[in-house]
Structures are given as C-alpha cells and as structure tokens.
Structure 1
Amino acid sequence: MDVSEPAHLLRAYRKLIPDWEVLQHKGAAGRVAIIGGCLEYTGAPYLAAMSATRAGADLAYIFCEASAAMPLKAYAPDLIVIPTYTSGAADDQSRNLLQSANASDAISRFDSWLPRLHAVCFGPGLGRDPSVLAIVQELMVRALKQPVPMVIDADALFLLTNLAATLAERRNRFMAPATASGASAPVVVTPNAVEMRRLLQSFDCQSPGEWLRNILIPGDTVLEKGQYDRIHTLVDLNLEYAKSVSTVSCTEHGSPRRCGGQGDILSGILVTSLAWMRFQSERASALVAAFGASTLTRRASRLAFAAKYRAMTATDVLEEVGPAFRAFENNSEK
C-alpha cells in the first residue's frame, strides 16, 4: 500500500496515539512547549498550548515575553507559563545592557527546561520585536542541536534565514557517517501561502521540495497550509530529486469560516503528535504526525462551524478538539 494514501496515514496516526494502559504517570502522554506570546499577542500561544493539552499532552508550557505572562496565567490554570524574556529597552543607551542580561537569563532558563520536553513549537504570538527575535533565534539554535522534535510556525518563520548556518551544521552532522544515526529529530515548518513564498524567495528555491532537499534532512517536513494542506516530507538525500520528497494533500473538509487562531490550534495538535513519536518502539514519521494533526484540526473546525455558523471563533474550535479525537479513535479508521 502506498504510504501516502490518506487511509493508511490515518491508521498510522491512530497507532501514534498512546494507549491508556501505558499512561501510568504524568508526562507519559507528552510534555510540550510553546515559545511565543507578547503584549500584543496572547491568544495565539494560549490556543496552541491548550489545543496541545486537548489533543492529549499531559503538560504544556509557554515560554513567553514577560508582559504576556499574567494574561496567559489568567486564561488557563492548566498551563505552565514561564516569563522568559523581555522586549527591547525604551532608549538606545540601556538597550545593550538589557539585551545582554535578558538574553543570558532567557537562554539559561530555556536550557534548564529543554531536556524535559518531548517536543517544542516556536512562533505563536511571537511578534516582531527585534530584541525578542534575537533571543528566540538563539533558543531555536539550542533546540536544533538537541533530539527534540520542533514545529516552526508564524513569526518564527522569519528566523529561518538567520538560522542557515545552524541548519547547515545540522545537515552536516546527519550526513557524517559517524553521526548519521545520531541526535537529530524532525523539524516541521508550517507556512501559509504568503509565508511559503517568502521562505522560498529568501533561500532562492522554486518549490517546497527543493527547499527541503537543499536545507533540511530526511524526516523533516513542510506543512503548507491552504484550502487543502499540502504536506511535503524529505525521504532520502540519496534518491533522485523527483523521488526524494513525498507529498500528500489533506483534503479533509474543514470550516468555510477563516477566523484567526485555527493555525495556532493546528500547531498545538501537531506538537503533541510529534511528542508521541518519542514513545514509539518503531520509527514514526513526521508525515504521519502532520497529516493526522491537519485532519483532526479540520474535523474540529467543521464541528465548530456546524454548531456556531458565522459566530464561530477559534475558541469554539478548541472546544471541539476533544470530541474530534474521540470520534476518530472510536471509528473504523483504527
């Protein structure tokens, strides 16, 4: 059977979901983190982290800008919110001192938590503050050097160009015979159409497949969001170009209402799905995780639209994540 067939991918995704009998302690279903959130954008990291827990992660952390911490803590006591960095100083004279102490503290705090995490997601609600982006870029460098699956979404996509050297180093580590089976974990990039075009232009590539083959390593994935999500996975660097990238479309019908926040919910479900890969005895695929997350997000959106019609918001979709998963686990696609 073709591994890219939707029915096969959904059966594989069902196997990825931890069975109840193995969930014997807190954290067994995943400890995940969202890195994002600023004064202007607190909803995005909340939706991503809560959808991660609604999908089944036991613990969801948010590493955010300090001014976002209290609103996020007030939204949901279920989340662990860690104020990690601050935005730039108000005047140039104090900016360098603030950035130095700010960056050092943020990196130290993130480094202390990173070994405990099963998957991380960078980007929801990150914003465009230059000092924040500089710090988060360094946090991404730290994560890329660890065996932790990573989702790169939203404003974190802007940092990929700056991470070209780190991505090249990661690729070289993978290709070296002594480390080919080493510590790399999959990276899943989740651009919308505009972000995809910008990403291709910045790396001078013509297609998502070319970008994957030139920049990333086997197992890495691009989840290209659109009317139908297109999921591209790099299979093998040694295959000829036409066969080195596997592409599958998720044609599951979602909601015709395109309210903000649905992409954040997808990121949360996806980061939990990637965390589950850490618990599999067999090697699981980021393609399976991405396809399952896309499908379940669309089903939750469809349920929310059926209930609320034009009044549907992302929080309504969030409420349907659990029912969508339950229906999926109980039907014939097992």
Structure 2
Amino acid sequence: MPPLPTPTPKELLMRVRKFIPPLLETMHKGQQGRVAVIGGSEDYTGAPFFSANASALMGADMSHVICEPQAAQVIKAYSPNIMVHPYMRQSHHREKGTDTAEEISTKIEEMLDRLHAIVIGPGLGRDSLMQDTAKLIIEAAKKKGMPFVVDADGLFLVQNHPSVVQNYTHAILTPNKAEFERLCKTMKIEPSHGDETEVCSRLAKAFGGVTIIQKGSKDYISNGKHTMVCDLKGGLKRSGGQGDTLTGCLVTFLAWKKAYQDRLWKHDNSLSDSELIALSAFGASAMTRNCSRLAYEKKGRALQAFDLSLEVGQAFKNLFESEDPKL
C-alpha cells in the first residue's frame, strides 16, 4: 500500500482551525485559555513579557508571568494586561535560611490548578535557585498531566537533567540551532548525521516522544513518530526575542487543546491528543513566521521582537479566519 500523501501547509492549518474555540456568548472568562510564563530574572525581563503578551494577543483570556521580584516591577510597567507574580527567586535575592527551591515552587504549584498550560524558560537565566525551582515546577506539572513548553534557559535545564522531560509526551521543546545541537550532544546524537528531518525525529525519539520544534530557516517539528516541516515565508531579520512570540502562541494553542477535549463547543471530536499537540506546534510555527514576514515588510532591518507582537492579530486573521489561509 503506498504511503499517504503529506498534508500541505493549508491542509494542516485547516485542521488547526478545528480546535480553535469559537467566541460564544455562553462562554465565561478563562475558558479561552489560562496560561502562565515562568521565568524572568533581573537581567531578562523582555522575554517573559513577549511570550505572555503574544498569548494574550492570540486570544488567551488570562496571561500570567511568574518571575523574580526585580523583574516583576519592570514587566508590570510594560502592560496592565499581563498578571505578574513575583514568586521566583535568584540565589542572591533569597532570604537567609529560607526561600528554598521547595518553598518557592510550592507557592507556584498552587497556581497550576488554575491554569491550562505553561511555558518554562523565557528570561529564566542560569542561576541555580531559579533552575532548581523550574525543575520542581516541571515535575509538578507532569503529575497533573499539564502540557508545557520549554524554551531558552529552560532548555539549559533539560540539557543538564534530560530526565525531567523524558517520556512526557505533553512537553514541547523549542530549541534554536545552537540549543538543538547541545540537546543532541546530551542525548548522544550527532546532528550532522542525516538531514534535519531525520535528526529532529531521532532527538524526539531519544526523549521518548517529546515534541521538538527545531527553529531555523525552516521549522522541523517531530515527536519521533511523525515529522512535519513548516517552511512558510518569514522575515529576514533575526533579532533576539522572536522565539518568544512562538512560545506565547504555542501555549495558547495548548490551552485550546484542553477546551477542545472538554467539549466546550459542539465539534466532531475527531482529533487525537497526539494530533492536537502536533497541530499546536505547527500552528504556532506558522503564526510566528507570518508575524515575522508582516513585521519585516514594514520594518526591514529595523525589525525588533516587539514588532512581531504588533502583527499577531493580523497573522491570526490571515491563517485562521480567512476562507483561504493567506500564507
């Protein structure tokens, strides 16, 4: 029997549309998504904001940032639309004899029951207390069966402690080229042996079915069994922070996955859990690339990460509200 044809980008985007919840009068606050970005240190305040802001602009009802107090005041000044919680601690800001990773994570774990999905890593930094706390939060999310995205210095945590995501198929890792190569080294995979599709699949398989989005000129998406490529046109400027739009869009799709599975509106319930995760990854990749293209057309070399945020609404219309997706 010949293999089934690979779905086109338009066909994949039409499948993504199936689990985007409609805006209905019967829905109440929070049902369109409650998400949180966990990160944000005194040196890195932009990344968690860009991620949470993208989730809000995508349509999540409630977007939180859980960060270090030194970052919280700055992020609160960026926007009143993001709820900011100064619960994380860097080692040099901890109270003597208190503020252990266990104490800090307990307060954050109490919030997880009110959330649908989380991002771990934007602006997290590599401070040992921040890293240890993030590890405990991931373990708590796994116990609850919660989907999560790991990015930036969250990937440094995975690089050093791969068991934290091993075999957890509701986790999505979003490495850039350098981060991907470091993860390959951790899992004893040679990134130059095979094409990008094969290597991405091998890495996902080595992690036991974790979904990988390998970012680059094309985005390779794999869970070890199925691999997709998102090669929609993006912008040519590679400024820092564009990946935060990806994580914000992605965590919103993961929240919508929960709404779909809870049958909050009438639908055919034809998408499996693994399909929903894969389509979330593809949808977020397509959103980010479309935002990048739109922003680059306006700003050219002057493009910065915030310019992608300004295009989230238009990119969503292009891909998911037009009769024919505008790629």
The two structures have a TM-score, normalised by structure 1, of 0.85
Corresponding position of 1:179: none
The two structures have a TM-score, normalised by structure 2, of 0.87
Corresponding position of 2:310: 319
**1:186-205 matched pairs, under 5 angstroms:** 186-205=170-189
Maintained 8 Å contact 2:123/2:153: yes
Corresponding position of 1:275: 255
Deviations 1:106-134 (A, max 9, x none): 21211110011111101111111122111
**1:213-252 matched pairs, under 5 angstroms:** 213-217=205-209, 220-234=210-224, 245-252=225-232
> What secondary structure is seen at the aligned counterpart in 1 of 2:21?
coil
**1:1-334 matched pairs, under 5 angstroms:** 2=5, 4-21=7-24, 24-89=27-92, 97-98=96-97, 100-168=98-166, 171=167, 186-206=170-190, 207-217=199-209, 220-234=210-224, 245-281=225-261, 282=269, 283=272, 284-333=275-324
In the alignment, the residues of structure 1 paired with residue 138 and residue 232 of structure 2 have an alpha-carbon distance, to the nearest angstrom, of 32
**Superposed displacement of residue 210, structure 1:** 2.3
Amino acid at match of 1:325: F
Amino acid at match of 1:269: C
Root mean square deviation, CA, Å:
2.0
Maintained 8 Å contact 1:148/1:185: no
Identify if the C-alpha distance between structure 1 residues 295 and 231 changes in structure 2 by more than 3 Å, giving closer, same or farther: same
**Superposed displacement of residue 261, structure 1:** 1.0
**Superposed displacement of residue 307, structure 1:** 1.5
Percent sequence identity is 36
In the alignment, the residues of structure 2 paired with residue 35 and residue 28 of structure 1 have an alpha-carbon distance, to the nearest angstrom, of 21
**Superposed displacement of residue 75, structure 1:** 0.7
Q: Matched residue pairs, number? A: 303
**Superposed displacement of residue 300, structure 1:** 1.1
**Superposed displacement of residue 4, structure 1:** 4.3
Deviations 1:78-125 (A, max 9, x none): 0111111221138xxxx7944x53423321211110011111101111
> What secondary structure is seen at the aligned counterpart in 2 of 1:10?
helix
Deviations 1:131-178 (A, max 9, x none): 21112111112112221111010100011144444445xx4xxxxxxx
**Superposed displacement of residue 308, structure 1:** 1.7
Tell me, which stretches of 5 or more residues in structure 2 are unaligned? 191-198, 262-268
**Superposed displacement of residue 332, structure 1:** 2.7
**Superposed displacement of residue 59, structure 1:** 0.5
Maintained 8 Å contact 1:43/1:125: yes
Amino acid at match of 1:128: R
Tell me, which stretches of 5 or more residues in structure 1 are unaligned? 172-183, 235-244
Maintained 8 Å contact 2:57/2:312: yes
**Superposed displacement of residue 259, structure 1:** 1.2
In the alignment, the residues of structure 2 paired with residue 323 and residue 270 of structure 1 have an alpha-carbon distance, to the nearest angstrom, of 17
Maintained 8 Å contact 2:89/2:99: no
Deviates more, 1:69-78 or 1:304-313: 304-313
Deviations 1:11-70 (A, max 9, x none): 111112111127611111100110110111100000000001111111011111121010
Deviates more, 1:193-202 or 1:207-216: 207-216
**Superposed displacement of residue 333, structure 1:** 3.8
Amino acid at match of 2:105: I
Identify if the C-alpha distance between structure 1 residues 307 and 87 changes in structure 2 by more than 3 Å, giving closer, same or farther: same
In the alignment, the residues of structure 2 paired with residue 123 and residue 166 of structure 1 have an alpha-carbon distance, to the nearest angstrom, of 14
Identify if the C-alpha distance between structure 1 residues 132 and 208 changes in structure 2 by more than 3 Å, giving closer, same or farther: same
Amino acid at match of 2:206: N
In the alignment, the residues of structure 1 paired with residue 288 and residue 37 of structure 2 have an alpha-carbon distance, to the nearest angstrom, of 18
Amino acid at match of 2:218: Y
Maintained 8 Å contact 1:4/1:246: no
